[in-house]
Amino acid sequence: MEYERILAIGDMHGNFNRLLSVFRKIQFRPENDLLILLGDYIDRGTENMRCLRWAMEMSEKENVIALRGNHEQMMLAYYAMEGEYNEIWLPNGGSATKRELDAWMKRDPDALKRVLRFLLHRPLYHRVTANGQEYIFCHAGLKPGIPLEEQTEDSLLWIRSEFYKYYNGSSIVIVGHTPTLYLLPDHTAPIFLKNNVILVDTGSFLPNGHISCVDVLHGTVWQSDANCS
Ligand SMILES: [Mn+2]
């Protein structure tokens, strides 16, 4: 299918006001557009479960792909897996998210099961070709020089500068995870790097941050309102 727009929304981190602010602006049309959510719906905000449930509902729709972020990975590990991440979720924003989930579970005993099923089935990347150009979407990035199929979960969910500094592939890679102001001081808009990397995490959890969306086919950018906290 030829998409009119291929849209990617970056890290939300529990800021539902900012999410609605940017989502209203993009006027998503599921029959024409593809929408990719780059992960990190939860943690560090005040409406973590609302953002997660929004992503859960959206993921049921046609032409919406909701990827897994490292925060979803930490949450999943906390509840469902043994491993190195099962202790790190709560101190990394998970405590507030867990309180919200606990409250939801009191009203709905199936809530945890539904959340875990959603987290477990999130893809780690999405690949699409349009007009002869390949686009790869994932939460954090790729280890340079390694084919997509051989990328580890660790790279796809956690990598930072090794990716955006040294990636030199021909596919355009669109990620969240590393806030744009890590690269440029106070910069809270998506960054289009010369080496085919687009960074869309614009500091949703920061006072002057935004949630942002990029149409990768046209380079159009939408952001949550500046006065939206
Ligand atoms: Mn993040």
* Per-residue pLDDT in tens (0 to 9) along the chain, 229 residues: 799 999 999 999 999 999 999 999 999 999 999 999 999 999 999 999 999 999 999 999 999 999 999 999 999 999 987 666 668 899 999 999 999 999 999 999 999 999 999 999 999 999 999 999 999 999 999 999 999 999 999 999 999 999 999 999 999 999 999 999 999 999 999 999 999 999 999 999 999 999 999 999 999 999 999 888 7
**Measured in angstroms, how far is the CA atom of residue 63 from the centroid of ligand 1?**
23
**Measured in angstroms, how far is the CA atom of residue 178 from the centroid of ligand 1?**
7
Side-chain half-sphere exposure of 26, counting CA atoms within 13 A: 30
CATH of the domain at 178: 3.60.21.10
- C-alpha radius of gyration, the chain, whole number: 17
Closest among 181, 152, 163, 170 to 73, alpha carbons compared: 152
Within a domain: residue 228?
A: no
Within a domain: residue 229?
A: no
Residue pair 14/209 in contact (Cβ under 8 Å)? The answer is: no
Domain span including residue 158: 5-223
**Measured in angstroms, how far is the CA atom of residue 131 from the centroid of ligand 1?**
30
**Measured in angstroms, how far is the CA atom of residue 125 from the centroid of ligand 1?**
15
**Measured in angstroms, how far is the CA atom of residue 2 from the centroid of ligand 1?**
30
Tokens at 185, concatenated: 């001081």
Within a domain: residue 126?
A: yes
**Measured in angstroms, how far is the CA atom of residue 1 from the centroid of ligand 1?**
31
Q: How many domains does the chain contain in total?
A: 1
**70-88 burial: b if 16+ Cβ within 10 Å, else e:** bbbbbbbbbeeeeeebeee
C-alpha 88/C-alpha 17 separation (Å) is 27
